[in-house]
Structure formats: structure tokens, C-alpha cells
Amino acid sequence: MNGQLRAAAYDGTSMTRQTTALVTGGAGLIGSHIVDAARAEGWQLRVLDSLERQTHPNGRPAWIPDDVEFVHGDVRNRRDWERALDGVDIVFHEAAYGGYMPEIAKFIHVNAYGTALMLETIRNRNLPIRKIVMASSQAVYNEGAYGCAEHGHFYGQTRPVAQLERGEYDVQCPICEMPSTPVPTDEAAPMGGENVYAISKADQERLLISFGRATGLPVVALRYSCTYGPRQSIFNPYTGVIAIFCTRLMNDVPPVVYEDGRQSRDLVFVEDVARANILVATDDRANGGVYNVGTGNAVEIGTLARTLATQLGKDIEPRIPGEFRPGEMRALISDISQIRQLGFAPKVDLATGVDRYLEWIAEQGDVGEYFSNAEKRLRKRNVVRKSSERTSA
């Protein structure tokens, strides 16, 4: 226990000085909406962001307000952390390398090492940070939770590649091996997602939570489900299923749906995620906790592709070539009862959220289609693989 660390509970009302919050990754989807939500609280904002080229090929996005102090830096650089953390009360750590990419070392470097550097800087300099809220992910789970008609509730395991190669995608009951039905996944589900991104997010989360326990500094990790909304990069072909499908459809190219299209995700609107961040930052009951943030509902990816086509007025069926990504989950419905107890409820349903995203994307001028080239790269590196059974043409 580092007694010198000030671990005073944050109480927004009793503070005389204006609260200063640092948002790492504040140029990105979730970070930029946290910036907006925190400004609405009257806080002073600083952003640390490296403006990753893949996400921001045109440099600093216009949505970062002028009164926000922008530190152009990298979470892998100690000096940048020192600059960014100086005078800060609350940290929202959102910067990360994400998606299904062939890299291995970079995930660990940006996500795990970057978080470690943040914690070390805070400890070594005895910085009077009052709370750290960090972006974890539903990806830290092995699989979602399931129900077998005969044997009841169980937590799924990562599906073996051999099973996926046979084109058998459903998670099977560990007792009777029958296909089972996804049910909401709570925070007690085992961690251990089997892809590099998942491993790096789990590292981040454990580093943070154990640091909080050891030092008494209030920390919270939020396991977001798939987040979407305005400002989701239309340039990055590796992340954001809604962004990828929309940019393809707008270029009259069918979305590529993996597996059989019946895999499902809990899609949460970015403003709801931002609100969850402000909530846990200002509620002491959240300290030391790990919370799912999602909607509690899931949509099948094949259905999503068709719905987006309809909303964009395109008569385009998704392409379902019978491919899969090793280590991917079959289904994840976020059980949000824990964060609901703190007063959180998602406000934007999928239809409304997609409308808002499509309105935004329509204002972005020409939207390129970057996925096709990316896909070739992923196939070559075996990040995307083919089942022997073709699901459909």
C-alpha cells in the first residue's frame, strides 16, 4: 500500500476547484463522447491521443472542442503520460489498439504496457488522481453464458477451431453436447478470451484492479459490449461491425458475414457508454468494481446486415462465405443488472442509434470502402479462416 497516494473519494459537489479530467483516446469514438459528457458536467478536459493513422487519416478530428487541451502523444511514452496526467483529478483511459488485426506485439504494447506505464507514472510521482475509469471489453470473457434445455446454465468455452472448420458454430452443452441458447452474461463469467486483443484487454483490467486494491486509489473497469454511433471511424476496416457494413453497402458491395450469420452481439449506442463512464466516475459505490455496459439485448449479425441494407435503401444481401475468426465468441448478451443498480439504463435503442449513425455518415462526404483489402490481409494471416462446409454462396 502506498500511503502517499491520495485516495480520497471523489465527490463532485464538495469540490471547490473545477474538476479536471483526462480522456485518453479522446479523439476516438467512445473517448470523444466522454469528453462531451464530461464537459456537460462543467469539468475541464484534456485529451491524450496519438491520432492513429488508420483511425484518423486526416489528422485531428473537428469534433474535439477548442477549449479541450489536446496532448498529441502516445500511451507507450512515459513523457507523454507525465504531461497528460499533471493536474488531473479523474482519468478515463480509452486509448487502445483494437479489432481483429494480425499484429500481436502491438496489442500488448499499446494496451497492457500503456496501462502499466500510466499506473507507474501515477505511483512514482504520487499524483493526486482521485479516480481511474478504464475501458475494458466484453472480449475478456471466454464466451457468453448459455442455457441447455436439459442441463441448465453454463458459461461457454472458446469453440475449438476443429469444430468451426466443420461449420458447426453453435456453442455446445458441455454435458450433452447439444447446441445451446445464449443467455445474458454476468461479470462472474470466466475471463480468458482467446485472441490477442482479448488477452491485452484482460491484462489492462487486471493491472488496474490490482493497482486499486494495492494502493487504495478508486478504480473502475467497464466491460463495454460492441459500441457504435457517430464518429466511429469510417476509415478503419478492422473495427466496428456497423461502420464496416455501412461503408460496404454505401459502395454497393455486400457486407461479409462470418460463420452462418446467426452469431449475435449486444450493440450499445456510444452516448449510453459515455453516460456510464460519468456515472461510475461520480459514484463511490462503483469503486473497485468491474461492470458490464451494454443493453441486455442482442441482434444476430446476419439480421443486422439486412436491416442496415434496408435502412440505407439498398437491395443487397450479405455475403456469407462460411468463414470464421478463431477465438471469436458466438454470442454475447451483456447482463447489465450490476450497473443498473447504480442507476444506469441504456436510452438509445438500436433502430434510433442506427438512424443517428446513418445521419452522421451521410454528412461525411465520400465514404470509401477499405474492408476488401483488409480482408485479403486477414485471410493471408489466418485471422480469418474458412470452414470446409460452405454455408451459402
- With contacts defined by CB under 5 A, name the span among 145-153, 284-292, 312-320, 372-380 that binds Zn ion: 145-153
> Least distance in Å: CB of 31 to ligand NAD?
5
Q: How far apart are the first and last CA of the chain?
A: 60
Minimum CB distance to Zn ion, residue 170 (Å): 12
Stretch that binds ligand NAD, among 24-32, 81-89, 156-164, 375-383 (CB under 6 A): 24-32
Q: From 138, 140, 129, select the one nearest 24 (Cα to Cα).
A: 129
Rounded to whole angstroms, how far apart are CA atoms 195 and 374? Answer: 18
List 89, 92, 98, 324, residue binding ligand NAD (CB under 6 A): 98
In the bound state with ligand NAD, the residue whose beta carbon lies nearer, of 322 and 346, is 346
Nearer to ligand NAD, 145 or 202 (CB): 202
Backbone φ and ψ of 269, nearest 5°: -75, 140
Instruction: Closer to ligand NAD by CB, 74 or 143: give it.
Output: 74
Per CB under 6 A, does 133 bind ligand NAD? no
Binders in 198-237 for ligand NAD, by CB under 6 A: 201, 224, 226-227, 233
CA distance 249 to 60: 27
- Binds Zn ion (CB under 5 A): choice among 40, 175, 214, 351: 175
Confirm or reject binding of residue 176 to Zn ion (CB under 5 A): yes
Identify residues 37-76 at the interface with ligand NAD (CB under 6 A).
48-52, 55-56, 74-76
Task: Point out which residues pair with 92 in neighbouring strands.
Answer: 23, 133
Task: Decide: is 92 part of the binding site for ligand NAD (CB under 6 A).
Answer: no
C-alpha to C-alpha distance for 262 and 332, rounded to whole angstroms: 12
Smallest separation, CB 181 to Zn ion (Å): 11
Residue 29 · residue 233 · CB < 8 Å: yes
What's the Cα-to-Cα distance from 337 to each of 147, 187, 189, rounded to whole Å?
A: 18, 10, 14
Q: Report, in Å, the least distance between residue 191 CB and ligand NAD.
A: 14
Q: Does 181 bind Zn ion (CB under 5 A)?
A: no
> By C-beta, is 76 or 151 nearer to ligand NAD?
76
Residues that bind ligand NAD (CB under 6 A): 25, 27-31, 48-52, 55-56, 74-76, 94-98, 110, 135, 137, 201, 224, 226-227, 233
